């Protein structure tokens, strides 16, 4: 699917339509059509936060009718078969049509079949001389040769992978070593290269490595999400090299070869005990490399870079921070579980799948391309909760507004015995919040039986046990035992006033 948002973003950076088409993996005609429709609808980048990719597509193409999809022939196979005796394009086209019919696919006609074959042969047999403009392209790659540092515990050599970035116009280079070629190292290398150059080129040209490109098909280029975010942060565009024969990245390939000889090979006999120590030595050699005079023209890479520096885009206020993307499902308790921590999401998204972006300090949650919430990232013991009150349903919000002090204050207005019972209930639970429901039920009994009866029931319950429960009070009130308290005291006084005393004869005594 064509990324209309990326087309508008790259257009806002000043890239021409051909460059945009190459970056987005679509035709130049598609780019022109999208830009014309966006202008007609008054749409420009940056887009409103509330507009998702789906809404943008529906706005640009409200009644788009699906076009027939033709099966593109495998011209690498066609070219291989054409080298055999007696094989013609007509024969290969007939075989291609037969294969499409068997697979239920739509074949091209013979004219289009031959045209695409001529385009294929012209593209793969030609060698094009590329003229680079100042500040337009930065080419990046990993060097084939590795350096090494010594493990201070075992004495073994640890391989170090060398990253190289070069500005083709001036041939000015940046080199740095890393322990691995993972996503974090790839991102850090770019950030450090931008800082070293003091600016950003309009286009980054890379190989089709996994840390940069997820898929590079014939009709679609899908960039790694973190790499795409880096490009957006620095307002640049990424153009992966062509698959199998990347001759358009010859400058960085040549620079990597020179670096392997001038820097890596020159340091081969030195022993380094840390990556920092190795990189300091690399930077010394890099400075010498960039200031070394050209052999076939005047000046050096450093003097040429002084002319190119003014054409670089300015650096953003803060460097890019690597983010990791995950997919999570919102649980019935309106929380998602990420890295054994729980973060709340608006309850409307319960049971929905959401995209989660994790940086060093922030957790952001997205649904359908739109950010719906964010949290400060939790660290420490597992299974912690970060809950925002606005994410909860209304009845749950009312519940969390209660606390122990509020229940005690409410009970004190009814009477001292009621207050004592509430304090007893709260202290009987290991976690205070577990007693809120019982306290709420106890105090609500005043609405049904009056506050005086509730106070008498609490008094009577405390006479039986020092730790009465909500159930004890409810039984006393429902059976009316609280109303018998005064009658019991009256009968006790009467028996003391008019009671009889048995004589000694009753007990068998003798006068």
User: Which string of DSSP letters, residue by residue, matches 227-252?
Assistant: HHHHHHHTT-EEEEPPSS--GGGHHH
pLDDT of residue 341 exceeding 70: yes
> If phi over 0 gives left and psi between -120 and 50 gives alpha, with beta otherwise, what is residue 107?
beta
Contact 223, 214 (CB under 8 A): yes
Which residue ranges make up each domain of the chain? 4-60, 75-125, 137-309, 324-398, 402-496
The DSSP annotation for 72-83 comes to PP-HHHHHHHHT
pLDDT (tens digit, 9 = 90+) per residue, 223-268? 677 788 888 889 888 877 655 544 545 555 666 667 766 777 778 7
Under 8 Å CB-to-CB from 465, ≥6 apart: which residues?
Answer: 472
Under 8 Å CB-to-CB from 370, ≥6 apart: which residues?
Answer: 49, 50, 52
Integer Cα distance of 221 and 234 in angstroms: 20
Contact 141, 160 (CB under 8 A): no
Pick 324-398's CATH classification: 3.30.2310, 3.40.50, 2.40.50, 2.40.10: 2.40.50
pLDDT reported for residue 333: 79
In DSSP terms, 375 is beta-bridged to 363
Contact 81, 87 (CB under 8 A): yes
pLDDT reported for residue 396: 60
Query: What CATH number is given for 137-309 in this structure?
Result: 3.30.420.10
Is the pTM higher than 0.75? The answer reads: no
CA atoms within 13 A on the CB side of 333: 8
Percent share of the chain, pLDDT over 90: 15
pLDDT (tens digit, 9 = 90+) per residue, 438-456? 888 898 898 889 999 999 9
pLDDT (tens digit, 9 = 90+) per residue, 142-156? 877 788 888 888 888
In DSSP terms, 85 is beta-bridged to none
pLDDT of residue 365 exceeding 90: yes
pLDDT band at 339 (very low <50, low <70, confident <90, very high): confident
Return the higher-pLDDT residue of 247 and 324: 324
Report residue 22 as tokens: 């190459």
Average the pLDDT over each of 122-131, 269-278, 464-473 and give the range with the smallest value: 122-131
Strand order in the sheet with 385-386: 335-338, 341-344, 385-386
């Amino acid at each position: 699917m064509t990324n209309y948002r990326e087309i508008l973003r790259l257009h806002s950076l000043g890239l021409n339509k051909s460059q945009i088409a190459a970056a987005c993996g679509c035709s130049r005609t598609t780019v022109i059509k999208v830009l014309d429709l966006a202008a007609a609808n008054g749409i420009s980048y940056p887009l409103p936060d509330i507009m998702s990719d789906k809404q943008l597509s529906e706005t640009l193409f409200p009644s788009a009718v699906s076009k027939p999809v033709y099966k593109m022939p495998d011209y690498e196979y066609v070219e291989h078969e054409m080298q055999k005796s007696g094989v013609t394009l007509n024969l290969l086209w007939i075989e291609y049509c037969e294969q499409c019919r068997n697979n239920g696919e739509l074949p091209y006609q013979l004219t289009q079949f031959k045209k695409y074959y001529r385009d294929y042969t012209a593209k793969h047999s030609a060698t094009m001389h590329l003229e680079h403009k100042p500040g337009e392209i930065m080419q990046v790659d990993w060097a084939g040769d590795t350096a090494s540092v010594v493990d201070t515990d075992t004495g073994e050599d640890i391989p170090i992978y060398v990253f190289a970035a070069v500005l083709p116009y001036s041939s000015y280079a940046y080199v740095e070593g890393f322990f691995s070629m993972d996503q974090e190292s790839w991102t850090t290398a770019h950030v450090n290269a931008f800082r070293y150059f003091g600016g950003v080129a309009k286009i980054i040209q890379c190989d089709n490595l996994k840390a940069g490109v997820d898929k590079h098909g014939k009709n679609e280029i899908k960039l790694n999400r973190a790499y795409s975010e880096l490009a957006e942060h620095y307002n640049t565009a990424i153009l992966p090299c062509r698959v199998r024969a990347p001759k358009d990245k010859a400058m960085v390939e040549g620079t990597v070869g020179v670096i392997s000889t001038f820097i890596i090979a020159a340091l081969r006999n030195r022993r380094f005990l840390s990556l920092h120590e190795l990189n300091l030595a690399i930077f010394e050699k890099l400075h010498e490399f960039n200031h070394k005079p050209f052999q076939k023209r005047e000046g050096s890479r450093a003097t040429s870079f002084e002319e190119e520096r003014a054409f670089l885009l300015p650096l953003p206020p803060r460097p890019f921070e690597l983010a990791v993307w995950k997919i999570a499902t919102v649980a019935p308790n309106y929380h998602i579980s990420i890295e054994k921590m729980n973060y709340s999401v608006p309850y409307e998204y319960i049971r929905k799948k959401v995209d989660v972006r994790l940086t060093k300090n922030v957790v952001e949650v997205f649904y359908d391309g739109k950010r719906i919430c964010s949290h400060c990232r939790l660290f420490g013991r597992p299974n912690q909760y970060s809950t925002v009150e606005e994410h909860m349903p209304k009845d749950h919000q009312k519940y969390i507004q209660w606390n122990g002090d509020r229940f005690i204050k409410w009970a004190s207005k009814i009477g001292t015995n009621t207050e004592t019972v509430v304090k007893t209930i709260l202290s009987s639970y290991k976690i205070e919040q577990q007693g809120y429901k019982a306290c709420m039920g106890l105090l609500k009994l005043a609405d049904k039986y009056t506050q005086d009866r509730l106070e008498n029931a609490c008094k009577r319950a405390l006479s039986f046990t020092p730790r009465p429960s909500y159930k004890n009070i409810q039984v006393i009130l429902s059976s009316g035992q609280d109303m018998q308290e005064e009658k019991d005291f009256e009968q006790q006084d009467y028996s003391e006033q008019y009671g009889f005393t048995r004589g000694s004869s009753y007990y068998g005594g003798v006068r």
